Amino acid sequence: MSEKLNLPIRPRRNRKNEAVRGLVRETVLHPADLIQPLFLHEAPQDDPIVSMPGQRRWSLEGLVGEVEAAWSAGVRAVVFFPKIEDALKNPCAEECHNPDGLVPRAIRAVKAACPGMAVITDVALDPYNSDGHDGIVERTSSGDLRILNDETVAALCRQALCHAAAGADIVAPSDMMDGRVGQIRAALDANGHEEVSILSYAAKYASAYYGPFRGALDSAPKAGDKKTYQMDPANRREALREAELDVAEGADMLMVKPAGPYLDIVRALREAFDLPLAAYQVSGEYLMIKSAAKDGWIDEEKVVLESLLGIKRAGADMILTYFAKEVAGRLPL
Ligand code: PBG
């Protein structure tokens, strides 16, 4: 038998039972922290997404039903990602601001059925652009691709106005063009949409974790990659610079994306800025958990909660996650 240690400080006392652990718990997830991304398409049926098991591309009717189910589970915000038919795509992505397009119709349908749900829309050209890029593409004489920043920003402004006119609460530019937050703010204000918020993807990395999402929307770039606008995964200071500009241009909320592999960036932005901060647990993060759980190697419910708790602990106020509805239903309101 060993001697009792002379140990006046024993951190384990604060972990001795669930009630005490509850008292000292520093981070708590709430359903209201979670934002549910939803895919939609122009079809009467709801199709399972092969690259994202458990997710569907919803018809408008299916979408409304899913939003109502998310609401019942405690989710209070959704973000839409449309799959646009190839026939409607062109190099200038003009369908992105069609007032009768899929997204504006979805906004109106969801707002009519579930007015309390905050509707967030993604502002970027890739679903509408025949080149599959977030910006308008020009081919140089040598055959290289150039993404036209300022022309793209003008299109993004039209897209944001179209979403605002349809009733979006928050527009979320995910394109990473320079100057788009300021221009979108000015366009919204000039058209009577002062109340529409901007959630800026301030630090969006050129990440391989977006693979399953591009599979869901068939939105992968036709040529080249997104490295001239999305950020280099190696950079942290650059994220602060991007966020600083977005704050100065009038962003209401900032976002870091992806979330899990970029928790240091979440923490850095949390410490440097006062604005509410979102983090996006992206499709690859989702699929990795789903795949490992399918083979029984991890407990899906527990790993999902732990992954989200980690993101919140790093400093995110809100989390975009494909697990939102399911997790919200398991959390106390
Ligand atoms: C496109 C967009 C992407 C995602 C959200 N908006 C893909 C990309 O930038 O290529 C990815 C989300 C995910 O992987 O879950 N503007």
CA–CA separation, 253 and 36 (whole Å): 17
Q: How would you label 86-107 residue by residue, b for 16+ Cβ within 10 Å and e otherwise?
A: eebbeebbbbbbbeebbbbbbb
Catalytic, 83? Answer no
DSSP summary character for residue 115 = T
Is residue 7's pLDDT more than 90? yes
Q: What is the rounded radius of gyration, in angstroms, for the C-alpha atoms of the chain?
A: 21
Residue range 200-224, pLDDT digits in tens: 999 999 999 999 999 888 888 999 9
CA–CA separation, 183 and 201 (whole Å): 15
210 C-alpha to ligand 1 centroid (Å) = 6
Mutate to test the pocket of ligand 1, among 79, 175, 213 (most ligand atoms within 8 A of CB): 213
Distances from the Cα of 294 to the Cα of 54, 281, 290, angstroms: 12, 19, 6
- C-beta of residue 176 within 8 angstroms of C-beta of residue 201: yes
- Indicate whether residue 321 lines ligand 1 (CB < 6 A): no
Query: Please, what CATH class does the domain formed by 30-328 belong to?
Result: alpha beta
Residue range 265-293, pLDDT digits in tens: 999 999 999 999 999 999 999 999 999 99
Is residue 113's pLDDT more than 80? yes
What atom of ligand 1 comes closest to residue 283's alpha carbon?
15
Average pLDDT value for residue range 38-61: 97
Q: What is the pLDDT of residue 88?
A: 97
Q: What is the pTM of this model?
A: 0.96
Which residues lie below 8 Å from residue 322, measured CB to CB, with a gap of 6+? Answer: 36, 37, 52, 54, 55, 281, 283, 286
CA–CA separation, 61 and 43 (whole Å): 10
Is residue 1's pLDDT more than 70? no
What atom of ligand 1 comes closest to residue 174's alpha carbon?
16
Average pLDDT value for residue range 152-166: 98
Q: What is the pLDDT of residue 333?
A: 66
- Indicate whether residue 126 lines ligand 1 (CB < 6 A): yes
The residue whose C-alpha atom lies closest to atom 11 belonging to ligand 1 is 210
The mean pLDDT of the chain is: 96
**Strand stretches in 162-276, DSSP E:** 170-173, 197-204, 253-257
